[in-house]
Amino acid sequence: MGRTALFLLIILSACHSKKPDADKRNGAPPTADVMIAKPQSVSNIVEANGTVVANEFVQLHPEASGRITYLNVPEGVFVNQGTVIARINDADLQAQLSKSKVQLELAVKTEERLKKLLAINGINQADYDSALNQVQSIKTDIAYYQALIDKTVVKAPFSGTVGLRLVSIGAYVTPTDVIASIQQLNTLKIDFTLPESYGALVHKGNVVTIETDTDDSVKQKATIIAVEPQANTTTRNLKVRASLQNAKAHPGSFVKVYVDAGENKHAIMLPSSVLIPNDQNNQVVILRDGKAKFVSVETGIREASNVEITKGISEGDSVLITGVLFAKPGAVIKVLSVKN
């Protein structure tokens, strides 16, 4: 029993002897690593998502309802402008046209005969005018029927590659049915959007860099051909269209678009981890006379792990990059090292 009491006495004595050292450590200032703010050159590349669009694209619809009597859809094959893709049954219209042509022949002969009689006062002017009007009326009917017949023929509106056939010969179609699609692929377009704040970077003739989703090792150049004048009222983004020559991408595929916003030779870059967000803005902790000071900052370019400080930090300021969470306004900070 005496040995146990002696052992407890030794332990209490040891704890009492260490207490002053612990208190001394608790009173020591917190330590941190700092970085000296200095300007450096930074390339500002704005990244956007884009979509490949065919130079020309159209879905081929018949303009008239009827049964398909001829179908020429060479799937995946290039066809020239004016190539007949399909014909709709036009037998009734052809019959009407033939009938009108016969009527026209008779009306012309009648008009010529009455014209001779009018010259010798054999008939009055009203009879001749009626015959002449009949000729003009039949000619109008012929033009009308010919227009209807033309609508039964579906032609390629431009030279391009035909897509997949969606109907079969003998099918009954209406103007709402799609026979096939045709796309012009020798030149492709890239549609992408940018925030309106970058509107000064996109002008007709400017060059952007394109990276396809299938091959991110190959970058291509595209030339801006147009910018939508009005920003989207929901997203406040501008829609931009660029032209891509000799590309092998498929329309509808995804691409990355990189817009060069120029180089800032006086950018102050800091690690993103030093930012302390709050409800209104971001803050960083700097050292002034060895004490912590919280300052509000504005940010610019963001990289993988760094961010540009556009306002709030001056060249030569010492910015805390570690121990930020333990710093308090006005507290003394002990600097461990200066990082790059």
- Residue 56's pLDDT is 94
Give the confidence band of 137 by pLDDT, cuts at 50, 70, 90.
very high
pLDDT in tens, 262-314: 766 677 888 888 888 877 788 888 888 888 888 888 887 777 788 888 888 88
Residue 317 and residue 314: Cα distance in Å, rounded?
A: 6
User: Any idea what DSSP says for residue 4?
Assistant: H
Tokens representing residue 163 in the block: 């897509």
Tokens representing residue 266 in the block: 């006086």
- Residue 215's pLDDT is 64
Tokens representing residue 258 in the block: 């990189």
pLDDT in tens, 206-258: 899 998 876 666 788 999 999 999 998 898 899 999 998 877 788 999 999 99
Phi, psi values for residue 78, rounded to 5°:
-80, 130
pLDDT in tens, 51-69: 999 999 999 999 999 999 9
Residue 182 and residue 47: Cα distance in Å, rounded?
A: 31
* pTM attached to this predicted model: 0.65
Give the confidence band of 5 by pLDDT, cuts at 50, 70, 90.
very low
Mode of pairing for the β-strands spanning 334-339 and 31-36:
parallel
Is 178 exposed, middle or buried, given 0-12, 13-18 or 19+ CB atoms closer than 10 A? middle
43, pLDDT greater than 90? no
Tokens representing residue 277 in the block: 């967000």
- Residue 64's pLDDT is 95
Measured torsion, CA atoms of residues 129, 130, 133, 135, in degrees rounded to the nearest 10: -110
pLDDT in tens, 175-196: 999 999 999 998 899 999 998 8
Tokens representing residue 42 in the block: 């930074």
Listing DSSP states for 272-336 in one string gives: GGG-EE-SS-EEEEEEETTEEEEEEEEEEEE-SSEEEEEES--TT-EEE-SSGGG--TT-B-EEE
- Residue 23's pLDDT is 36
Q: Which helix (H) or strand (E) holds 46?
A: strand 39-60
Say how far residue 24 (Cα) sits from the centre of its chain.
62
**H helices present in 42-200, as ranges:** 91-119, 125-151
